[in-house]
Amino acid sequence: MPTLLTTPPVAPQTLAALQALGIRSVEELRETGSVQAFLLLKAAGLTVTRSTLWQLEALLLGIKPQDLPQTQKTALEQALKNHPPVAVFPTSSEMETFMRAALTQAEQSASIGEIPVGAVVVSNNQIIAAAHNTCVSDHDISRHAEIRALAAAGAALQNYRLDGCDLYITLEPCAMCASAIIQARVRRVIYGAAEPKTGAAGSVVNLFANPLLNKHTAIKGGILEDECKAVLQAFFQTRRKQY
C-alpha cells in the first residue's frame, strides 16, 4: 500500500498543491524527486521556502526535517541551481489539441516536398501563430517551422520576447531552433517526436538545461508521438521510392 502524504507533517496548502500535481504519496514524491516537487510547487504559484524543500527531502529519508544534515541541504541547494526549468503543463487533452494543429502544419510541409515539421505558438489558450518548414522552397536553412512560428508570434504580439507563450512542435527542436526559443523566452515547449540525430532538448544535447545559458523554458516531449513520427516516416518512405 502507498504511504499517503498527510497533514501533519505536510502543511495543508502544500498538501493540497502536491495532490493537485498528482503527488499523493511518498512513493509518488520519490518518483518526482524532492527538488522537482519543490520547483513544481513554486511553478503552481505556491509561496514556499527552503524549509518546504527540507521537509520534502526528510519525508523521502524517513526522518524529521530538523535532523536533515547540512551536507544534504547544501547538495539540495546545488541541485536546485542546476535543475532544468520546471512548469506545470496543460492537461493531456489540451496539449493534444494544439499538437494536432501543429500536425496540420507538418502535413502542409509534406505537401510541398519539405520535411514535415509543424509548429504553433499559443498565448492565453489561443493559437497566435502557426508555421511549417519552408527551407527548400525559400532556399533558406533558417526557415524551420519553429523559427517561422516565433517570428509570426512576435509580429502578432509586437514583441520579440514571448513571455507566457507556449510552443508546440511536432519534432524535437534542433540546436538552432532551441537557441531561438531560449532567446525568445518561451515559457513552455511541447514537442511530439524525439529527434535522435539532432535533438537539442535532450536527445543529443539539452540546451534548455544548460546552466551557462539563460534558463526560461520548460520542456515536455512525447505528445502525440506516434502520429508525429508517422508523418515523418510516410514522407521519407515516399522520398525513398522516388529515388
Would you state the pLDDT for residue 214?
Answer: 79
Condensed to tens digits (0 to 9), the pLDDT of residues 35-94 reads 999 999 999 999 999 999 999 999 999 999 999 999 999 999 999 998 999 999 999 999
> Which of 128, 181, 184, 188 is CA-nearest to residue 161?
184
Q: How much is the pLDDT for 211?
A: 82
- Could you say which of 28, 57, 114, 146 is catalytic? 146
146 is catalytic: yes
- Please give the pLDDT value at position 30: 97
pTM comes to 0.92
Per residue in 180-237, pLDDT (tens digit) is 999 999 999 999 999 999 999 999 999 999 988 877 899 999 999 999 999 999 999 9
pLDDT at 243 over 70: no
Instruction: Give, in degrees to the nearest 5, the angle at Cα 157 between 154 and 138.
Output: 30
Residue for grid cell 521537509: 55
Tell me which residue has cell 532556399: 139
Return the beta strands (E) in the chain as ranges: 118-123, 126-132, 166-171, 188-193, 218-220
Overall CATH class of domain 92-242: alpha beta
pLDDT for position 213: 85
Q: How many CB atoms lie within 10 A of CB 24?
A: 16
CATH topology of domain 12-82: DNA polymerase; domain 1 (1.10.150)
The pLDDT score that the predictor gives to residue 164 is 94
Residue-wise burial string across 25-60, b where 16 or more C-beta atoms lie within 10 A, e elsewhere: ebebbeebbbbbbbbbbebeebebeeebbbbbbbbe
Mean pLDDT in the chain?
96
Q: Is 135 known as a binding-site position?
A: no
- Please indicate if the annotation marks 144 as binding a ligand: yes
**For the chain, which residues make up each domain, given as ranges?**
12-82, 92-242
